[in-house]
């Protein structure tokens, strides 16, 4: 297990903290936790790609960075008026 | 060595943001930490990848693209979320 994989494993602890707020907070706070959680997952995938030395794995964080933006905007748009 | 320091700083920055997310009382306060998490941590990790692999390599450029996308899109997202939170705080008027 090299440095990058160790860092990815440590960073997964941050995902637990985001998950706690996501489950226990109000809807708007859960949306903020979702934003940070998707950022954490993106960095974890970046670290894993570097840790495994596979160039093709770098596509995953690149795609997730764009899709998480679209997904959170969709949550905000469709849940915004009533739930947030 | 430099890459190890940059990765450690990046992971530490992300963990601080996650702890701030839990510690802060309101959604707007938490949003500050979520926005910081899209800029500081990814930039440090991308810098570490560039130090390890070189900037003008496939992996280095991909890491830089991820960090730039997270910084710009995360800022836009924080702005939109802040607008929703402000509207909720002040009623539906603003």
List per-residue pLDDT tens for chain B, 94 residues long.
899 999 999 999 999 999 999 999 888 899 999 999 999 999 999 999 999 988 899 999 999 999 999 999 999 999 999 988 888 777 755 4
> A4 at the B interface (CB within 8 A)?
yes
Backbone CA torsion sign across B40, B41, B42, B43? positive
How far apart CA B86 and CA B94 sit, in angstroms, is 8
Min Cα–Cα distance to chain B from A69, Å: 6
Cα separation, B79 vs A11, in Å, equals 25
CB proximity under 8 Å: A 10-39 to B:
10-11, 13-15, 17-18, 20-21, 25-26, 28-29, 31-33, 35-36, 39
Q: Which residue of B has its CA nearest to A55?
A: B59
Cα nearest neighbour of A24 on chain B: B22
Of A46, A44, A53, A60, nearest to A8 by C-alpha is A44
A-interface mutation test, from B1, B12, B21, most A Cβ less than 10 A away:
B21
CB pairs under 8 A between A and B: 132
Q: Which of B21, B46, B88 sits opposite A17 (nearest CB)?
A: B21
Q: To which H or E segment does residue A58 belong?
A: none
ipTM value:
0.91
Tokens 């998950």 sit on residue: A19
Q: What confidence score (pLDDT) does residue B6 get?
A: 95
pTM, 2 dp: 0.92
Nearest by CB to residue A17, choosing from B7, B22, B62, is: B22
Q: What are phi and psi of B55, to 5 degrees?
A: -70, -45
How many CB atoms lie under 10 A from the CB of residue A43?
29
């Amino acid at each position: 297990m090299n440095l990058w994989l160790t860092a990815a494993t440590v960073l997964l602890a941050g995902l637990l903290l985001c998950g706690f707020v996501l489950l226990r907070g109000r809807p708007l706070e859960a949306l903020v936790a979702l934003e940070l959680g998707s950022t954490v997952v993106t960095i974890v995938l970046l670290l894993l790609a570097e840790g495994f030395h596979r160039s093709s794995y770098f596509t995953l964080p690149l795609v997730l960075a764009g899709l998480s933006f679209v997904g959170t905007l969709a949550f905000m748009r469709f849940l915004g008026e009533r739930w947030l | 060595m430099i890459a190890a320091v940059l990765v450690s700083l990046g992971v530490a920055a992300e963990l601080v943001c996650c702890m701030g997310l839990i510690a802060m009382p309101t959604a707007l306060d938490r949003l500050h930490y979520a926005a910081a998490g899209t800029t500081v941590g990814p930039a440090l990790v991308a810098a570490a990848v560039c130090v390890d692999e070189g900037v003008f390599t496939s992996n280095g450029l991909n890491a830089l693209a991820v960090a730039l996308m997270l910084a710009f899109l995360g800022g836009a997202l924080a702005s939109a979320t802040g607008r929703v939170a402000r509207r909720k705080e002040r009623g539906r008027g603003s």
